[in-house]
Amino acid sequence: MSPPLAAQETAQAPAPTDPATPNAPTAQGDLSVTIYNNDVALVQDVRQLSLASGRVRQNFPDVSARIRPETVSLTVADAAIVEQNFDFDLLTPSSLMEKAQGETITLIRTNPATGAETREKAKVLAVNGGVVLDVGGHVEVLRDDGLPVRAVFDRVPESLRARPTLSVTLASTRSGTRPATLSYLSGGLGWSADYVALFDDKSGKVDVQGWVTLTNTSGTTFNNARTLLVAGEVGNTNDRNSYMPQPRRMTRVQPGTESAEREQLGDFYLYPLAERTTIADKQTKQVSFLDAKGVAASAGYRFENGWLGSANESRSAQSVLRFANSGAAGLGDALPAGTVRVYVRDARGQPQFTGENSIDHTPQGSTISLPTGDAFDVKVQPTVVARTKLGDQRWRTQMRYRLTNARGRPATVELVQSGLDWTDTRVTEENRKSERRDAGSTVWQVPVPANGEAVVTATFDTRY
């Protein structure tokens, strides 16, 4: 089993506190947080409750402000849930004024010249894009014009909470203190993977470091929590299907068949943090989960021509970094989806950024072809030499691909002719052997000499 993720920050003290107000303990207990990739997290909070016998009301402050109340589960020995409510209307200046509609408040005005204060009663008539008041029988709008005016309220409405609070009515069969396990799903907690790849072209090796970025926009800080990250897309009714255009520089992966030595939960891989940590609200935190040195890798080029079309001028081939996450290659781990940023050392030995691309969840043993940008010196120009009609539903297309290399060393270009699955299209003649990888594309591996060029010709027969 792979080691847990190493946190950049040390674990917090056992007594949970809110980082925003270090001297104010929270009501949270022994916390465990499991965070998934698609904006969903499982929070499990074990608190010690002192309950009386009979029907009792118990409040649980400091739950997530983005809790999904329908997912709440509470387990308490010798007690049953009668009713539960989530009070998410938080105490703010605007919510306090809204709740005071129809009530009488006190306005304190300060004379800017003398500093003298005057008090007068005002009835809140409406709060709709502004505050409308009845002051001494005349209607006044409370303006935010910088003049020193304060509104004083006699009380805080019971429906407003300083912190997100879950309230539960329990039927307790005995009195006494006992543990209660509160579990719920929440939005606003997420994680993503980022990779830094330092490639050495001379040795054919790449060093790969993986980082997990935690984000918390749930409105609540989770204190001193055991944290577990799950890689994979779990089913979620909040998901929405949407059309996403395919990027031009798409990472190609040949899926592997190796079993990763990492704990799994069903079909998902687990990445536990090594120590308890506090996930503060509105905070981003990074932890390391992968540090592989000397992974076998190579650089190459790829060019894809869509359908059987011509280009008016030569176009750049894609720069591609190829490596595998197999054990034999030196990486040996399943890779969660994320962004890979590639660096190469310059002549002075300084790492320089050369491009980035994303990978999907990748099983161990896969071969990854990661496009990082467009090559400066390696170009390809596809040309339709002739297109002939052979019959009512048959056409013949003769293609020529001219590949040029202005570098001082040879280059191999993976030349791809795609779009062949729109119709029944086959290669009938070619000057270099191709590989039909799937119904939609055929591929040539074309060596191009240093400061030279190469030409590929092919004839395609199409039946509509």
Predicted model pTM = 0.71
Coil, strand or helix at 20: coil
Contacts of 19 (CB under 8 A, 6+ apart): 221, 278, 280
How far apart CA 15 and CA 20 sit, in angstroms, is 15
Residue 137: φ, ψ to 5°: 95, -5
d(CA 363, CA 256): 6
In 3D, which of 192, 231, 194 has the Cα closest to residue 357? 194
* pLDDT of 384 over the 80 cut: yes
User: Which amino acid is located at 189 in the chain?
Assistant: L
> Concatenated DSSP letters for 196-223?
EEEEETTTTEEEEEEEEEEEE-SSS-EE
Give per-residue pLDDT as tens, 265-274: 777 889 898 8
CA geometry: angle 128, 132, 138, nearest 5 deg: 155
Q: Which residue shows structure tokens 């009301």?
A: 57
Three-state DSSP at 90 gives strand
Structure tokens belonging to residue 234:
């779990």
Mean of pLDDT values over 393-417: 96
Q: Which amino acid is at 443?
A: V
Q: Which is more confident, 94 or 168?
A: 168
Q: pLDDT digits over 339-349, tens only? A: 999 999 998 99
Taking the C-alpha atoms of residue 371 and residue 227, their distance in angstroms, rounded to an integer, is: 33
Look at residue 8 in the predicted model and tell me its pLDDT.
44
**Both tokens of residue 438?**
């799937």
- Furthest-apart CA atoms within the chain: distance in Å: 98
Unique residue bearing structure tokens 């020529």: 400
Q: What is the pLDDT of residue 162?
A: 61
The reported pLDDT for the residue numbered 140 is 84
pLDDT at 414: 96
Does the structure show a pLDDT above 60 at 185?
Answer: yes
pLDDT at residue 344, as a whole number: 95
| pLDDT at position 147 | 60
Whether 316 and 391 have beta carbons less than 8 Å apart is answered as no
- Using a 10 angstrom Cβ sphere, with 0-12 exposed, 13-18 middle and 19 or more buried, the burial of residue 329 is middle
Tens-digit pLDDT profile for residues 365-379? 999 999 999 999 999
Instruction: Inform me whether the pLDDT recorded for 429 exceeds 60.
Output: yes
Place 3 in a pLDDT band, splitting at 50, 70 and 90.
Answer: low
For strands 189-200 and 338-345, give the pairing. parallel
- Residue 387's pLDDT is 94
- For the chain, the average pLDDT equals 85
What's the mean pLDDT in 280-288? 90
Contact 324, 256 (CB under 8 A): yes
CA nearest neighbour of 208 among 61, 83, 85, 359:
359
**What's the distance, CA 58 to chain centroid?**
35
User: Which pair of structure tokens corresponds to residue 391?
Assistant: 């019959």
| First-last CA distance in the chain | 54
Q: Which of 6-10, 83-87, 152-156, 449-453 has the highest mean pLDDT?
A: 449-453
CA distance 64 to 227: 15
Is the dihedral angle over the CA atoms 122, 126, 132, 137 positive or is it negative? Answer: negative
Conformational region of residue 65, where left means phi above 0, alpha means psi within -120 to 50, and beta covers everything else:
alpha
Looking at residue 90, what is its pLDDT? 59
Burial of residue 155, with CB atoms counted within 10 A of its CB: 0-12 exposed, 13-18 middle, 19 or more buried: exposed
Residues sharing a CB contact under 8 Å with residue 378, sequence separation 6 or more, in sequence order: 301, 316, 317, 403, 404, 405, 406, 407, 411, 413, 448
Question: What are the φ/ψ torsions at residue 93 (nearest 5 degrees)?
Answer: -55, -40
Confidence grade of residue 251 (pLDDT, cut at 50, 70, 90):
confident
**So what's the pLDDT on residue 18?**
41
Q: What is the pLDDT of residues 291-340, one digit of tens each?
A: 999 999 999 999 999 889 999 999 999 999 999 999 999 999 999 999 99
Q: Residue 86's pLDDT is what?
A: 66
Q: Classify each residue of 54-67 as buried b or exposed e, where b means 16 or more C-beta atoms within 10 Å of its C-beta.
A: eebebebbbbbbbb
